[in-house]
Amino acid sequence: MSVGRRVGVWGALGGVVVVLAVAITATVGWRPLIGPAARPLTDRKFESTPARVERGKYMFTAASACIGCHSEWDRTIDGHPAKAGAEGAGRTWADENMPWLTAPNLTPDVETGAGTWSDDMFARAIREGIGHDGRTLFPVMPYARFAAMSDEDLASIVVYLRTLPAIRRALPKTKIPFPPGPLINSLPRPITAPVPAPDMSTPERKGAYLVRMAVCAECHTASDDRGNKLTRLDFAGGFPLPDATAGHTVTSVNITRDPSGIPYYDEALFIQTMRTGRVVARKLDDMMPWASYRNLTDDDLKAIFAYLQTVNPVKHLVDNSLAPTPCPVCKASHGGGDKNSASPRAAVD
Ligand code: HEC
Ligand code: HEC
Atom number of ligand 1 nearest to Cα 68? 5
Q: Find all residues with CB under 8 Å of 182, minimum gap 6, and list them.
A: 31, 32, 33, 136
**Rg (Cα) of the chain, in Å, rounded?**
22
Hey, whose CA ends up nearest to atom 7 of ligand 1? 141
Q: Is 253 in the pocket of ligand 2 (CB under 6 A)?
A: yes
Comparing CA positions, the residue from 254, 266, 251 lying closest to residue 314 is: 254
pLDDT at residue number 346? 46
The pLDDT tens digits of the residues spanning 198-245 come to 999 999 999 999 999 999 999 999 999 888 999 999 999 999 999 999
pLDDT at residue number 1? 38
Other beta carbons less than 10 A from residue 246's beta carbon: 14
Q: Is 94 in the pocket of ligand 1 (CB under 6 A)?
A: no
Amino acid 104 reads P
Establish how many alpha carbons lie within 13 A of residue 159's alpha carbon, considering only the half-sphere containing its beta carbon.
22
The pLDDT tens digits of the residues spanning 239-258 come to 999 999 999 999 999 999 99
Q: Is 243 in the pocket of ligand 2 (CB under 6 A)?
A: no
The pLDDT tens digits of the residues spanning 315-330 come to 999 999 999 999 999 9
Q: Which ligand lies nearest the alpha carbon of 311?
A: 2
The pLDDT tens digits of the residues spanning 328-340 come to 999 999 999 999 9
Amino acid 125 reads A
